[in-house]
Structure 1
Amino acid sequence: MAINVGEGMTDEVGRQRGGWKSRARSSTRRERVTEVAIPRGGKGKEVAGSTSEAQDEPESQHEVVAEAQDVDEVNAEIEAEEKDEQPPPSPQKKNPRTTRRRNPPQVAPPPVTGYGGGPSDLSLLPSFGKHVAASLWRGECVGRYLKCMNNGKKVNDFDKPDSNLRWFWNVVDASGLRPLLKTNYNHVDWGLLTAFTKRWHPETGTFYLPISEMTITLDDVSCLLHIPINGKMLNHVGTACSMAEGKDMCEKYLNFNRDDCKQEFSKMKGAHIGFPKLEKIYHANLSQALEAENNQESDDEVGFYRECTIRAFLLYLIGATIFTNKSSQYVDVIFLTYLQDLSEVNTWNWGASRLAYLFNYLDAASRPKCGNHGGMYYGAFQKVRNALSC
């Protein structure tokens, strides 16, 4: 006799639970079908029966096969119903911040072909849109003043040796750099420098003035600074002096201890020597040179202290005048490369290197975001202003 396990169950077994249909009904149907398909006496203990039950065995086997087929069909129907009952995947919500409707793609601005009051043909000045003059036409950078880093006061206040110390001044005169001591200003006119940088154009390397175009030439450098404008060019552009190389050069050419040099490099964040420290190195070597000379020590030792004194002085001089940087706090050790042999200092083209250094800083100063400036030589702009006033 088949056991009816579905008695007492209602049709609400498959009601929804939280939006999902319960699978209790399909599982109940599976149990009902499988339990009905169990043949009589198919499992359990063997029980002796009558001959009539033995005669009904073939018929019961046919019934088992038919009922097994019915079970497969029912299982297939239940699986199909379960697939139908599964809810469709919920669509992903679109982020309103990334939709095209709220954030449309930016349209490229039309190409600029001219500026009101400025150049009408940009083939010669393609980067004029990034020039400070273009910002002024748009009403920007109205109160911009360029601060120039000037170390002239440091050079004027530098404690120089007596003029009768011939071993010192003879080498400085032979280097061709002594005139830099007389070309410094304690104060500069920021307004004058700001006005000239607004009229400088990097493409042509000239100032666009109301009268005509003007520029600074090598002849101006020679007349104003009186430094060499011929010879070998300084070739350290694009190369950097490592900390190890800087320590070696400072110890060999400045008599600067490596441990103290390491502390100074760490303070300056690179292979640089601050002006106060460089002045101390100069005075220390000068004192040792005079002391060794009074004690009548060997010529090699006296000569070593003398050369270190002169190198420290020349390094201070060029770092505070012709190669002033925007920090106005230190000088690069890389310039010691050109001071190794003091007899060949005048063979370097200091004037041309100074002019290229100035042009590089003028290019940077012609941009709106430039606030302070290095590498300026105030005397050159004074000359141009005097020419305009004539």
Structure 2
Amino acid sequence: MRLPPTTIDPAPVYPVLLWGHGQHCIDSVWANEAGDRSYHVRGTTNLVTYHELYRPYLEAAGLFSVVPLVPRNSDASLITALVERWRPETSTFHIPFGEVTITLEDVVTVSGLAIDDDAVVVNIPDEEWSAIYLRLLGRVLADISGGVGVVRTVWLRDEFSHLPGNASQEVIGQFARAYALSLMGGVLFPDRFGATVHLQYLLLIKDWQRARRFSWGAAVLSYMYREMGRSALHIKHSSTSLGVDLGGWVALL
């Protein structure tokens, strides 16, 4: 016996909470207007080349656990399915068996980043960015195409991917700082295209020991929540940072 088609109303029963209905990307799926749209994890291939001499500095800052995670291939189909089920109103994925979300504990398991230390807060200095760049990286900031306080990741890669063989400890520290900067701009907190990185992150790693007291994992999760919400509401057509491996997180469920 052929059963009659079932009509499902995709609208929330109580729209007061899920205020995003009508602007959410899932609405186009229900309307059969999504086409071949897909989301992807943002990031960059223009990372500064890693050198083993950077490891002590990155370990001191609590960032080394991310190094083995890159480069990483992302599953666009999985990312798309998750974004379509993400509700920024509740910061949870709405799936057939209920609601689930990525927690701080998940971030620790997947990335190894700290979650219970100081909040990651940047105080914008009075000092010129060019002076900060010269003081912390030992280079004259010649790339100004990205805007004020921003440097292109490809330029950063070209400047710092070849550590001199006779480099002093000071120079090694500067190159390690450049690598950490590209890690933040290309992996942990990428912009829309992973093409630029803000120099404000330099201020977080000017003191390696102080940097270790930051809750990098909490910052990555917060950033991810915001960017997942923006993707779900059509503000962006990409997903989020590589700091939280969504494929690795799904494996934990």
TM-score tier by shorter-chain length is 0.7 to 0.9
Aligned to 1:340: 206
The aligned amino acid for 2:10 is G
The correspondence for 2:63, drawn from 177, 191, 200, is 177
Q: Distance in 2 between matches of 1:308 and 1:316?
A: 13
SS of the residue aligned with 1:118?
coil
Q: 1:379 to 1:228 in 2, by over 3 A?
A: same
Question: For structure 1, which segment, 133-142 or 173-182, has the greater mean C-alpha deviation from structure 2 after superposition?
Answer: 133-142
Of the three residues 36, 41, 46, the one matched with 1:148 is 41
Letter of the 1:148 counterpart = V
Query: Sequence identity, in percent?
Result: 22
Gaps spanning 5+ residues in structure 2: where? 1-7
Deviation at 1:321, TM superposition (A): 1.5
Residues 104 and 218, structure 2, Cα contact 8 Å, conserved in 1:
yes
Describe the superposition over 1:3-28 as per-residue Cα deviations: whole angstroms up to 9, x where unpaired. Answer: xxxxxxxxxxxxxxxxxxxxxxxxxx
The answer to whether the 8 Å contact 1:149/1:372 transfers is yes
CA RMSD of aligned residues (A): 2.6
Output aligned runs, 1:1-390, within 5 Å.
116-151=9-44, 153-155=45-47, 159-161=49-51, 163=52, 165=53, 168-236=54-122, 245-257=128-140, 261=141, 263-265=142-144, 267-283=145-161, 286-287=163-164, 290-291=166-167, 302-368=168-234, 370-377=236-243, 379-384=245-250, 386=251
Deviation at 1:188, TM superposition (A): 1.7
Larger Rg: 1
Deviation for aligned residue 1:206: 0.1
Deviation at 1:148, TM superposition (A): 3.1
Post-superposition CA distance 1:275-321 (Å, at most 9, x none)? 2322343356x428x25xxxxxxxxxx45323312211211222221
The SS at the match of 2:203 is: helix
- Decide whether aligned partners of structure 1 residues 196 and 118 sit closer, same or farther in structure 2, where only a CA change above 3 A counts: same
Is the contact made by 1:241 and 1:333 (CA closer than 8 Å) also made in structure 2?
A: no
CA distance in 1, matches of 2:216, 2:63: 9
The more displaced of 327-336 and 367-376 is 367-376
Q: Is the 8 A contact 2:49 2:179 kept in 1?
A: no
Q: Number of aligned pairs? A: 246
**3-state SS, counterpart of residue 273 of structure 1:** strand
Point out 4+ residue stretches in structure 1 off by more than 6 angstroms: 239-242
Q: CA deviation at 1:363?
A: 0.6
Asked if the contact 1:148/1:373 (under 8 Å) is kept, the reply is yes
Measure, in 2, the Cα distance between the counterparts of 1:369 and 1:309. Answer: 35
TM-score relative to the length of structure 2: 0.85
Q: In 1, distance between residues paired with 2:71 and 2:212?
A: 25
* Structure 1 unaligned residues grouped into runs of 5+: 1-114, 292-301
Further displaced range: 203-212 or 117-126: 117-126
Q: Which TM-score applies when normalising by structure 1?
A: 0.57
Cα pair 2:150 2:198 within 8 Å, conserved: yes
Q: What do residues 251-282 of structure 1 show as CA deviations (whole Å, max 9, x unaligned)? A: 1101121xxx2x412x2233222223223433
Amino acid at match of 1:119: P
Q: 1:120 to 1:380 in 2, by over 3 A?
A: same
